Structure 1
Amino acid sequence: MSSNSDDIQASGFDTLPPMLNRTDYESWSQRIRLYYRGKENGLKILQSIDQGPFEFGTTRDALGTTPEGGVLLGQERPHTYEDLSDTEKKRYDADVRATNIVLQGLPKDIYKLINHNIEAKAIWDNVKMLLAGSELTKEYRES
């Protein structure tokens, strides 16, 4: 007989990311990185944490051609999502997913300290700064 958790997994239900335990940042860091890798575009999600968000950059629209066969370009403008290639859209979407996953893995009190950040790398770096060298983590390692 199958359990409810077996039924949920069989139906494709997405499990929650690992929850941060304040006394074991290193273990959480490794587990959540493995969790990311198991997701669609997992490597791009990890890029968001390690390298920061995708930069949209700028573009110039082609306005026409010159009599000599050159291209007339308009003023420089910021890229929009629609301007992006499929690969760039996947990277941008991975940034959003990375932020959501890391926030879901944080206890409420830590989330409240860093919820003003919207980039996965900034959130990750702040959590690391808060907990990686904390006294709780050091005491846990010594015991």
Structure 2
Amino acid sequence: MILESIENGPLIWPTIEENGVTRPRKYSELSATDAIQADCDVKVTNTTLQGLPPEVYALVSNHRIAKEHWERIKLLMQGTSFTTQERECKLYDEFDNFAYKKGETLRDFYLNFTGYYNDMNI
């Protein structure tokens, strides 16, 4: 159902007619399947937004529908595999040239080292 939210868009809430007025059903009035789909719509939107880099999040967070998020993210992330390879090469080069700098404390040296190490693991 989560994948369905991304591929087909959110649940179109069923309507109900009361006193000659048509309104969308409340969450409590949805069938079990529709309620699960509505929950999935919210989960996929939140999950999609949480995994984004800040610069991409800023560009897509104004969309409310996961399908719109996904389409916009695909467009923004085109070519990131090349960018990722470039970043990885740069990081390995920086690590290979990593050395103690005169006047640097042992703590600063350790923090720089662990920073490079953690970035390489990520």
Q: Under TM normalisation by the shorter chain, which class is it?
A: 0.5 to 0.7
The residue number in structure 2 matching 1:103 is 49
Q: 2:13 aligns with which of 26, 33, 56?
A: 56
1:83 aligns with 2:29: yes
Structure 2 unaligned spans of 5+:
86-122
Q: Cα RMSD (Å) of the superposition?
A: 2.1
| Paired position in structure 1 for 2:63 | 117
2:83 & 2:29 partners in 1: Cα distance? 51
- Give the secondary-structure state (helix, strand or coil) at the position aligned to 1:96: helix
For 1:54, give the aligned amino acid. L
Match of residue 120 from structure 2: none
- Tell me how far apart the structure 2 counterparts of residues 104 and 58 of structure 1 sit (CA, whole Å): 32
After TM superposition, give the deviation of residue 75 of structure 1 in Å. 2.8
TM-score (norm 2): 0.61
Q: As a proportion of its length, which structure holds more helix?
A: 2
Separation (CA, whole Å) in 2 of partners of 1:139 and 1:107 = 13
Identity of aligned residues (%): 36
Equivalent residues, number: 85
1:15-30 to 2 correspondences below 5 Å: none
Runs of 4+ residues deviating >3 angstroms: 136-141
TM-score (norm 1): 0.53
Residue 101 of structure 1 aligns with an amino acid whose one-letter code is: T
2:73 matched to which residue of 1? Answer: 127
Which amino acid counterpart does residue 52 of structure 2 have in structure 1? L
Report the 3-state secondary structure (helix = DSSP H, G, I; strand = E; otherwise coil) of the residue aligned with 1:101.
helix
For 1:95 and 1:104, the matched residues in 2 are separated by 14
Distance in 1 of aligned mates of 2:62 and 2:24 = 24
Larger Rg: 2
CA distance in 2, matches of 1:106, 1:46: 18
Q: What is residue 3 of structure 2 aligned with on the other side? A: 46
Q: Distance in 2 between matches of 1:128 and 1:121?
A: 11
Structure 1 or 2: more strand by fraction: 1
Counterparts of 2:84 and 2:55, CA distance in 1: 20
